[in-house]
Structure 1
């Protein structure tokens, strides 16, 4: 990802935290030692957390934009 936006950076952090929590739950630290099933679950968890967080941020941003329209004095 080139020049991620602040929201994308936040989403990346959310994905990383979720992926790290999954690895902790496995007691794993070496990605090369993960089984195929664990590797696929690890990737799915990261991608899902990233997308979910970005979607939540987009909803928040949309709510903010909508509230600004209602307050324009002209």
Structure 2
């Protein structure tokens, strides 16, 4: 998240944009505010990535709760 995405090659750019979405935390919002380009990609990408990661975290949470066994009384 420290460096602009444009310095990386295509494969690494895809990884840090969509698989591990570091670029959506800093680079894409900053580039939107500074240049105003790719507005739908920035806003839509943030919404889609947020929904996907939220859904994944809920699935993991529910799986963890279903196998949880308390110790004690």
Task: Return the TM-score normalized by structure 1.
Answer: 0.50
Structure 1 alignment gaps of length 5 or more: 1-13
Alignment match, 2:41? 41
Higher RCO structure, 1 or 2 (CA under 8 Å, sep 6+): 1
Alignment match, 1:4? none
Contact 2:21/2:49, CA 8 A, preserved across alignment: yes
Structure 2 alignment gaps of length 5 or more: 1-19
Alignment match, 1:6? none
Task: Return the TM-score normalized by structure 2.
Answer: 0.50
Alignment match, 2:50? 50
**Over the residues paired in the alignment, what is the CA RMSD in angstroms?**
3.3
Higher helix share: 1
Give the 4+ runs in structure 1 shifted more than 3 A.
Answer: 14-17
Structure 2 residue 24 is the aligned partner of structure 1 residue 18: yes
